[in-house]
Structures are given as structure tokens and as C-alpha cells.
Amino acid sequence: MATLDARTLPLDPTTTQTLAGSGFEYREVDVRSAEFSPFTRAIARGFLGEDLTDEQVESSRERVGGRRLTGVYDPHAADPATPVATVDSWVTALSLPGRRTVPMWAISGVTVSPTRRRRGIARAMVEGELRAAAGGGVAVAGLTVSEATIYSRFGFAPAAFSTDWTIDTRRARWTGPMPGGRLDAVDRERLRAELEALHDRTRASHPGDIEGWTGLWRRIAGLAPGYDERKVRGVLHTDDAGVVRGALAYSITQNDDDNAAATLTVLHLVSDGGDAYRALWRFALEHDLVATVTAPLRSVDEPLRWMIADQRAARVTTREHHWLRVLDVPAAIAARTYSAPAALAVGVSDHLGFAHGVWRLELHDEGNGTAQPIDAVADLTMSVNELAAILLGGVRASTLHTAGRIEGSRDAVATLDRAFASPDTPYLRIWY
């Protein structure tokens, strides 16, 4: 898929005008310029981080190179070179049911200085991102969030969820099959390369996943400054044919009161096939001197549950993770495949206008769908948020119907449920 460079699209004139009306300047930041250091430091401050070292600034420069960086500046601020608000964005490939992808406008780094908060700056920036994305013909926008209360108002909804695990290893007891292949400890550079390659090879089978980037894998593999990098260790699984099928990045925290009760944290575990999955989890759960395994950001449907003797040895919490926003209904509907046929008129309300209207959906089993604007009474009505929630097949229309968020007959809802069901569980394996 040819990827659009988000930097080639102009800044949204409405946002420029709105912010200018409050005395702010809205402008793009060149990653190679001197403006980048205060820009990335403002993001660190916005997310409550420590001030960055020069080494961290350079690492961040490498990580976000190629993205569209936009800052809001206050010429009257004590330090006018530091933006009072930031956002960065780029176009990536979002995996969809049917092992298809659609271009997605990824939004990250949304911060507003605590000294300029609640004056509408974030609203102006986010709406500007959506208009820029729609203007560039990008069908969907996405983000991961610090708080679950911010983005619904812009038409986003959670479409993929994640789970965090804490496992008492002594109680859990491994009951999975003995996996084939071989495990090897590797250095962090090799770990990074394999995490990157495996993510890319497997992301099509996870609706909701997106492309990774080298700086992300450097951070996860412990190669980026400022992330406890020396604690990160890596193990690879290689199958009998000599192909690397899985990678585990982990760290261990010792327990000062009990040498045999350390905590192993699964920083990232990626597998291409069942053997690698089983081998890496067994490695973690049976690690000597470890009493607890924690694993953030796992799927809502982990086979791990079925490889331990006592499922209550695992505490699992679920959280919304990947928030999507539909900008172009026909393009989003045409991009994925469907599990059952459906022909329905769906009314979508969207106060920002992008997806608003009544749409005739013609969905074909094991094939694509079409959406065409029609002038008719809708069988079902929902807001653009619900459309985003069901897009990956991880949230059922019937659930939202019961919650009072989709209206229409039970039959129509059941038809939508069957069509939108996904054979692969939606799962975004990273933060962005």
C-alpha cells in the first residue's frame, strides 16, 4: 500500500484561524531544526515526564522523523520558543478483518501546557488533525489515550481492548503442551531486529494493529536512553527448520525479602505460530526464582488462559486501548471483509460532518462491502462513535443496542452482528 506522507498536507486553515483569534500561532515543526528540542521537551512535560537529556532529545528526533509535528506557540509567553501545545501525526496501515489494511491517520503527542489548559487548544488541534486527514483522503483516524474521557467528543470510540496480567507462577502451574523448537538468549540489538520483523510479519492477523517503527522497537528492546535499558533481556524462539518464530523482551525485578520471589515483566511477546507462543510463555512462567509474572497490553483472548492449571492464579484486567474515528464511511466499509451478508440502511450522526448521513450498506460474506449515501429511512441509527466501535468486529452491535447506543430492530442488529464478526480477535499490540 502506498503510504501518504502526512507532512505534505497543509495545516488546517480553520484551526489556524481559531487559534490566531486567541493570540496563538499554529505551525509545523521541522524535526531537523532547532525548534525540535523545545517541541519534544514540551511533550515530555505534557505527559508528566522528567526533562529530557540531550541524548534523549536526539533519540526522540530519530524516533519521530517522518512524522508531521505541529506546535501551538504563544508569542507573549516567557519562553516563546517552547510550544504551549503539541501534536504529531502520520499515516499508517490499520489491520482490518479479512487480513486487509486501510490507511489510518495516527495521532500522538497531544499535549497542552498546564498553564494554557481548558481554553479550547486541544479541541482546535484535534479537529484540525481530523480535517487534514479527511482532506488527504484518509478513511480512519486512530489514537491511544491517557484518559478515556477525552476523545468521544471528537467521534472516537474504543474498537480494540487489551488486558493486563498478573500471574502467581507457583499457583498457575504450566499444563500446556511441551513446545518444539529452541530458545536462545540474545543481545538487545538482535532482539530489536526480530521484534520488528515479527511484528510486521504478524500484524495482518490482528485487526486494530498498526505498523511499528524502529524507534519503538529500540525502546522496547532497551536500546533507547532513559528507559531502564540495562534491565531489558531478550529470548528468541527458533523452529526446527531454523526460522525465528517468536521473541520475548522481558525484565526482572528482584524481591529484597525473598530471593526466590522475583517479578518477571513481559515487556513484549510476539509469536508467529503456536509453538513460539507456548515456548515463550512457558519460559516466563517456569523461570527460576520468579514468583510473579506481569504482562501488560495482552490480547483479550490469550490462549495462555488454557495453558495453566489454575486460571484464578492470573488476575486479568481489561481496558479499552485502540480508539478509532471514521472519516470516510464508503472507504472504511469497503476496506474490510465480512462474515455474513447484509443489506441495511444505517443512519450515522456526526456533528463534525465527515460520516453524517444515511448509508446503504451492502456487505458480502467473505468479500468486501459498499456504503452509499441514500435518502431513505434508516433501519438502524447510531453516532459515528458506534460505527468506529464496531468497525474491527471486537464490539458487537447488539451490545451497543442493549446499552441504548444503537437504535433499530433486533433483527437488523443481529444481521449487523453476523456481518461484522471478525475471525481474528482485534488487538493493538503497542502504544502510540
Ligand X SMILES: CC(C)(COP(=O)(O)OP(=O)(O)OC[C@H]1O[C@@H](n2cnc3c(N)ncnc32)[C@H](O)[C@@H]1OP(=O)(O)O)[C@@H](O)C(=O)NCCC(=O)NCCS
- Chain residues that interact with ligand X, rule: CB under 6 A: 46-47, 110-112, 117-123, 145-147, 149-150, 153
Phi-psi map region of 109: left, alpha, beta (phi>0 left; psi -120 to 50 alpha): left
Q: Which is nearer to ligand X, 13 or 47 (CB)?
A: 47
Q: Which is nearer to ligand X, 110 or 371 (CB)?
A: 110
CB of 86 to ligand X, least distance (A): 9
Q: Which is nearer to ligand X, 146 or 317 (CB)?
A: 146
CB of 144 to ligand X, least distance (A): 7
Say how far apart CA 426 and CA 410 lie, in whole Å. Answer: 24
Cα distances (angstroms) measured from residue 347 to each of 353, 361, 372, 382, 400: 13, 10, 11, 6, 15
Kindly give the interhelix angle for 54-64 and 36-46, rounded to the nearest 10 degrees.
100
CB of 111 to ligand X, least distance (A): 4
Q: Which is nearer to ligand X, 140 or 371 (CB)?
A: 140
Q: Which is nearer to ligand X, 87 or 400 (CB)?
A: 87
Q: Which is nearer to ligand X, 24 or 281 (CB)?
A: 24
Q: Which residue is nearest to ligand X (CB)?
A: 122
CB of 47 to ligand X, least distance (A): 6
CB of 209 to ligand X, least distance (A): 19
CB of 148 to ligand X, least distance (A): 9
Say how far apart CA 298 and CA 301 lie, in whole Å. Answer: 8
The full DSSP string for 4-37 is P-GGGSPPPHHHHHHHHHTT-EEEEE-TTSTTHH
CA-based torsion, 174, 178, 184, 189: positive or negative? negative
Contact call for residues 59 and 223 (beta carbons, < 8 A)? no
Backbone angles phi, psi at 361, to 5 degrees: -95, 125
Cα distances (angstroms) measured from residue 193 to each of 85, 95, 221: 34, 21, 9
